[in-house]
Structure 1
């Protein structure tokens, strides 16, 4: 049962609250990632709980899962927020959501840990808030989930929005782009080299047939001293799949280790189920015993240079990797090249 401190809030009251005390109001949106990115209340934070987290919570969810932003979490614990408002798709009251719903789990956590804050839920959810006052909401570019990220010194991953920002691409030193979509435009064909991979993000798409072509393209740009930016629409599924395939083949590592490496840099990656299956098939190919292939791989030349290149999971990176604290020991991996070769 949710604490009686929780009260319902009409959208007009939320509008007034944001206008008068916006800095002291925290809005938590419990809808799906894609619904949140399509449109949301300005300044709100998306609460995303996986099925496993919800199942294991049993009503006792850590605040870190509800408010992942460390600064906001600290302000909440210090009592600096006057009101916390939660919303989902259309809840008119707290009897509607299931017991393991994201909103009810978040409410339970906030009632325990939100020091001095008034806890509210938005009546009828986001659906009503959109009808109530358009000024509260707005479509937002996918870059709101972060900017483009460096996977390797010559390989970057991001969204179609990032690919439309020439200033952003130039700041990263990008010289070529891989457009992993059938409908995203190539905005600057006169300035960059483009490679198009026209696949849809669905279970029928055969993205694996493009793996070798994409990998060869990335290597050719790298060998010329350039940098490649890989994108799809959201920078979550298709483009992430291409980056994973590149890491797997050139460094001869398993999918789960390549996935962990990329996810540390862009936490929202989520290739669809079919793409994950195709990557697993690709893993069986790249890890098949083949000494000659490994000896000639770009990864071997990197590893042979020894300590001159900072590495994480045996991937060369240009960003510093701190090794002085045991808290970062998880960044080290036992991945090695096959000793039998």
Structure 2
């Protein structure tokens, strides 16, 4: 009788039965029905979750851009703005104070509607804590340009976020920003952070000026480029110019070479990763140490310049690894992001292979079920047609050059560039 009562109570909870219906069900409960219930429990739970999601979507309100602007001005601490776009789109421009959802293509495919807050807010412990404690009076979601809730697709990032929110027991109003980032930026650009388009004349000279009259190589021209507000990429020459470093607010340097000197050890914090730019080096063994160093500089509100000889291969590899690990993005996404800022990057073939291996490890840790091996992670990127193998395409990094003989080593992203 006790077991029977417990089973009935569980069914009442799972199947949303009213007390009167539950009593009738209890009278009719037999071994066959129990067997059916046990074997279909996962389906019942899935239906319950689907019902909760549908209720949440029905309750999802729309918020005008003017309302969000007023909230940001008057009560910004009580509202959480979640950017549901890709890392690249977020980095190009986003609403001030917004948190980017960590939900790349692989995670979405594997999640199947069950992604957790720990996954989508990976690394944002304070935000998660405030969210779970009910300290936000409103959560505002936005993508690029969705204008109403009826057009939200079931497999969209916004839907996955809704699923994650409705699984947790906190009471916070959830809103969709009408028109997304496009509309908000067009109306209130001062409340957004927009990355300036890099001028090729200021940081990456054109083909005709790939070498100046004084013979300065292209990789030494201009100055270090900003990858993130606290992370910069440049060459050994850049690392030797104290006035330039001070002007950019650099407080630490990560020297990814075995022969580049540390010019100002009394003025900056230095760390050296002694690797050569060749196919025999295991640069991946330094990824964790390099990432921890960059994070330590970030946590102390500092800025770090990562450099090697030319800022093309070794230091670029470290920056790519950092983006992949901390932003949970794929290699091709990270590569394109860095390439937009320093177009001459070209890690050698071995380093690219090690980054690809690192990608599978990073994405495996962000998924709770699959990707136990690198091959599993790569397989998840296959096309929708069954049996189609996944083929990784090395991103193309070709510096702007027009003369056939200039910087020929940049023609291919998988060839070894000169000492970088």
TM-score by length of 2: 0.43
Task: Classify 1:149/1:71 alpha carbon distance in 2 versus 1 (closer, same or farther; 3 Å).
Answer: farther
Provide the residue aligned with 2:131 in structure 1.
76
Determine which of 208, 219, 235 is the counterpart of 2:258. Answer: 219
Kindly state the Cα deviation for residue 23 of structure 1 after the two structures are TM-superposed: 0.6
SS of structure 2 residue aligned to 1:98: coil
5+ residue gaps, structure 2:
1-52, 197-224, 295-318, 325-333, 354-420
Q: Distance in 1 between matches of 2:111 and 2:81?
A: 22
Query: Aligned partners of 2:66, 2:282: CA distance in 1, in Å?
Result: 54
| Deviation of the 1:83 alpha carbon | 0.4
- Whether 1:166 and 2:233 are equivalent positions in the alignment is no
In structure 1, the residue corresponding to 2:140 is in which secondary structure?
Answer: strand
Aligned equivalents of 2:134, 2:227: Cα separation in 1? 26
Residue 52 of structure 1: aligned partner? 106
Matches within 5 A, 1:1-341: 1-2=53-54, 3=56, 4-68=58-122, 69-113=124-168, 115-139=170-194, 145=228, 147-148=230-231, 166=247, 168-169=249-250, 171-172=251-252, 218-222=257-261, 246=275, 249=278, 252-253=281-282, 255=284, 257=285, 262=290, 265=294, 267-269=322-324, 270-272=334-336, 279-281=348-350
Q: Distance in 1 between matches of 2:79 and 2:169?
A: 12
Alignment CA distance shift 1:165-1:34 (3 Å): farther
**Displacement after TM superposition at 1:73 (Å):** 0.6
| Deviates further, 21-30 or 265-274 | 265-274
Shift of 1:145: 4.4
State whether residues 49 and 65 of structure 1, in contact with CA within 8 Å, keep that contact through their aligned partners in structure 2.
yes
Secondary structure at 2:261's aligned position in 1? Answer: helix
Distance 1:254 1:135, change over 3 A: closer
Change (3 A) 1:97 1:279: farther
- Distance in 1 (alpha carbons) for counterparts of 2:153 and 2:120: 17
TM-score (norm 1): 0.52
Gaps of 5+ in 1: 177-214, 230-242, 285-341
More deviation, 113-122/245-254: 245-254
Deviation at 1:166, TM superposition (A): 2.7
Q: Answer whether contact 1:111 1:119 (CA < 8 A) is retained.
A: no
CA displacement, residues 50-99 of structure 1 (integer Å, 9 cap, x when unaligned): 21111111111110222231011101101100001010011122343432
SS in 1 for 2:62: strand
- Between the aligned partners of 2:146 and 2:72, the Cα distance in structure 1 is 20
Q: 1:17 is paired with a residue of what secondary structure?
A: helix
Deviation of 1:39 after TM superposition, in Å, equals: 2.2
Partner-residue secondary structure (3-state), 2:76: helix
Q: SS of 1:128's equivalent?
A: helix
1:223: how far off?
A: 7.6
* Contact 1:48 1:102 (8 Å CA) reproduced: no
Offset, 1:21: 1.7
- Looking at structure 1, the residues matched to 273 and 153 of structure 2 have their Cα atoms a distance apart, in angstroms, of 36
In 1, Cα distance between equivalents of 2:144 and 2:75: 24
SS at match of 1:84: strand
* Count of residues paired in the alignment: 219
Q: Identify if the C-alpha distance between structure 1 residues 246 and 36 changes in structure 2 by more than 3 Å, giving closer, same or farther.
A: same
Larger Rg, first or second structure (1 or 2): 2
Kindly report structure 1 stretches of 4+ aligned residues shifted beyond 6 Å: 141-144, 223-227, 273-277
